[in-house]
Structure 1
Amino acid sequence: MADATYDSNNIFAKILRGEIPSHRVYEDDAVLAFMDVMPQGPGHTLVVPKAPSRNLLDADPTTLGPLFAIVQKVARAVKKTFGADGVTVMQFNEPASGQTVYHLHVHIIPRFEGVPLKPHSGQMEKPEILAENAGKIRAALSN
């Protein structure tokens, strides 16, 4: 297993501290949701706890309830916003699973019948598209 020490300089910790900009869609005392800058489909959103957790395996159990309550709320809003047929919710733990950022995070991706997920290409989405999609999700969350 990789070094299981939480790195407070990971990119999501920097986003939480406001050191790196993000297109936020939801925030409360425990959780932040924001647009994935390398989306696998339109509306790809990430939900992270504010508590420092490397992944699901080391998270304090009290972190999980608030996190997954918001995952559900955001997933419903994303599905509605993009008129999706469903949503894929993914969460990776450790390198063998595909985890590349070592701060607990959940992916929410709207899905459409017959449309495959885009590969994780490292291609960044245009900021104006991310901002527009974030605004649409925020509007759905406020309804």
Structure 2
Amino acid sequence: MEIEKVNHPYLTAIKRTDISVPTRYLLKHDLLKGRILDYGCGFGFDTDELKRQGYDITGYDYYYRPDYPEGKFDTIICNYVLNVLEPYAQAEVMMNVTNLLHPKGTAFFSVRRDLQEEGFRLHAIYKQYTYQCNVRLPFPSLVCNSSYELYQYNHFNKLPRKDGEKCPFCRLSRRVEVICETATCVAFYDGYPVSPGHTLIIPKRHVASYFDLTNHEREAMNVMLQYVKQKIDERFHPDGYNIGINVNEAAGQSVFHVHMHLIPRYKGDVRNPKGGIRGVIPDKQKY
């Protein structure tokens, strides 16, 4: 009977005796600043060695060091993690890393470039399936060779502005608090919230209508919606939610870059909430 193909990424962790190549690069170029997180640290050799050298560093790994980190970090390193995860898990890692990163911080993602095959494979020792794939990210590349590539990430609203860019979401205010980000979309607290925790989720690609998004973009926004809802629950403890997207001027769209509203609701915030989103046409709210 064939073993079910379920990914066991922790089996790919290596017991190192020397600091990993990407971390050596960051050390050499003095890029490890402030409070540091080693996300997906595996057995934790890099973490322990950097701590021995005097760095303020925390190691987190879902399997080997499962105490989830608290607070924000100035530098986050994520070495060789994304290559061994399936797409949904990759998105979760990126959302976690970007959520844990200080607004002025920098994250570094390293990915392997020596993979000859992609997909599931049976681990020779443990006889369990692992997964591997090539990963390319839309972030600046610091190093790229036949072995690995190292990307630098800064929050979407901290990137250089394009000359002449007028879309307020393509040139997102530096004052906005980013909640999380993936390669495809970004979530942030609305600058003019209708309730505490009011959040917008947008695709990074400039497109006006939700119906013109690619299937991948729509899926990415929905995955992020679930993640952001969890973060709002933890921080604001709302009693309910409205979810909405305005498409075209007749429906109230004023910024013509797709944006999904996630609006937390609280008991007593309106006299009678019955009908909810039907209230966009007030005479039809009650039925």
Out of 169, 177, 182, the residue aligned to residue 12 of structure 1 is: 169
Deviations 1:81-132 (CA, angstroms, capped at 9, x unpaired):
2111111111110001111111111111111122129xxxxxxxxxxxxxxx
- Structure 2: any 5+ residue segments left out of the alignment? 1-164, 272-287
Q: How does 1:124-143 map to 2 (within 5 A)?
A: none
Note the residue ranges of structure 1 that are not aligned, 5 or more in a row.
Answer: 1-7, 118-143
The structure showing larger relative contact order (alpha-carbon pairs under 8 Å, at least 6 residues apart) is 1
Match of 1:101 among 252, 255, 267: 255
Cα distance in 2 for residues equivalent to 1:73 and 1:97: 27
Paired-residue identity, %: 28
Match of 2:264 in 1: 110
Q: Between Structure 1 and Structure 2, which shows a larger proportion of strand residues?
A: 2
TM-score, length-scaled by structure 2: 0.35
Q: What is the match of residue 47 of structure 1?
A: 201
TM-score, normalised on structure 1? 0.68
CA shift for structure 1 position 9: 2.6
- The answer for the alignment partner of 1:129 in structure 2 is none
Distance 2:234 2:241 in 1: 10
Aligned-partner Cα distance in 2 for 1:11–1:116 = 30
> Structure 1 runs of 4+ off > 6 angstroms?
none
In 2: Cα distance, 1:23 partner to 1:56 partner: 23
Q: Indicate the RMSD between aligned Cα atoms, in angstroms.
A: 1.7
The alignment status of 1:59 with 2:216, answered yes or no, reads no
| Aligned positions, number | 106
Please tell me the residue identity of whatever aligns with 2:201.
V
- Contact 1:79–1:87 at 8 Å: present in 2 too? no
Distance 1:101 1:75 in 2: 23
- Partner amino acid, structure 1, of 2:218: L
Q: How far apart are the structure 2 equivalents of 1:31 and 1:57?
A: 16
Q: 2:191 aligns with which of 34, 37, 59?
A: 37
- CA drift of 1:38 comes to 0.6
How far the C-alpha of 1:62 sits from its partner, in A, is 2.0
1:9 and 1:58 mapped to 2: Cα distance?
A: 20
